[in-house]
Structure 1
Amino acid sequence: MPRPEPARWASEAKVGEEVLVLCRFPQLENSQFFATTSNFQIEGLETPTPSLLVDEAWRFKGRHMRPMTTNLFFHDEVSSSARELGTSPHVVHFDLDRAGLSSRPERIRAPKHKPLPEDLEDDEVDMAEVAEEEAEGVEDAGAADPDSAAGPITSPKASPKASPRASPRASPKLSPKVSPKLSPKMAPKDEFLRVRKKRQPRRRVIASSHSK
């Protein structure tokens, strides 16, 4: 596979000169994809590896093609009333990066599980242990004397801390602390931002849709 090369106009054109560049999307031409999008960002158009970010959710990789003989450019979407802008030998071919394609990131939801002992205070840990001991004592007493199971039963291990009213610091269960993690789907965006900082002096470039 040939090594990607930077755009020819990046070295031939002068700073401030307008360059007409054709951006092609063969996998999405004649589709409704672009009709529902609102934000396009092309990064590193003059570099060997240009990239296209759509609505900050979909990523496309681009490559510069050999100069073509005739390329038509239109101001609006393809239609019989579209206005032709001109021709140019500069073409960028964008392919869908299926490995990096992602939908909009979903909200990070905390998993539903009981709080761990280290997340609770000392009083709450003692109350939880006493409650478990009481439950075990009731089960043992019921199994030893089934006739007296209906009567009041006092566990020998019960302590004044067993009553939830005895502790003024009793509070509802704490929700688990879950630290939000950066979704790997947003990693491509960071890469684009890093590429932007290393770009060469900006030149005026017009990226248009393509039609024959």
Structure 2
Amino acid sequence: MARTRALDYEDRKKDILRAAAVLFAQQGYSETLLEDIAAQCGVKKSSLYHYHSSKHAILYSLITWKIEDLAWKIDAAIEAASAPKEKFQAFTTTLVNEYIRVPEEMTVLLTQMRYLNKPAMKSVIQIQDRIINRAVLLIQSLRPDIEISRKNVTAMAMLYFGMTNWIPVWYKPSGSIKPADLSTMISELFLNGISAPDFPIIGHRIS
């Protein structure tokens, strides 16, 4: 007879992923042992196998969970907005909030994907491409009056992600720049450039 799953099975499975994210972000996937993850969770190593078959399975589940969750949140935020600029701001706010809310988990997305095997990497890239394509379409919608090549608009999207992806490295939530201010700063910098007359937060106009 198959073993019956506990009612909190999915919660415990996610708890293991969160614990692993902290260790993967702090010391790297290759340097983290299953024993380390078990200790972080306060369980025996053997207990991990009831939820995940291997360390690679933990990494894959973690990355898939987070990137699918991020893609869903981005889609929901964009659909709730109306004008292209509002959609772009909603996209940015969603990214910033996630990078600040769960920095370790987002850091794993950025730095540890290279440890996935080829089939796992392929499936993750498909979801990642969905997020990138969302950004590409948004950027195109901001300037319907001009034709931008796919190569150029993709480069613009990657430059945009360059402003958001490394927030966990330097941003301190306890600092003077609040998440909403940071989201606005990124959006305005991308949309208008630092030469825009009403560029926010950075400082006051010198008369």
Q: Which has the larger radius of gyration?
A: 1
Between Structure 1 and Structure 2, the one with more strand by share is 1
TM-score band by shorter chain is: under 0.3
Highest relative contact order (Cα 8 Å, sep 6+), 1 or 2?
1
Between Structure 1 and Structure 2, the one with more helix by share is 2
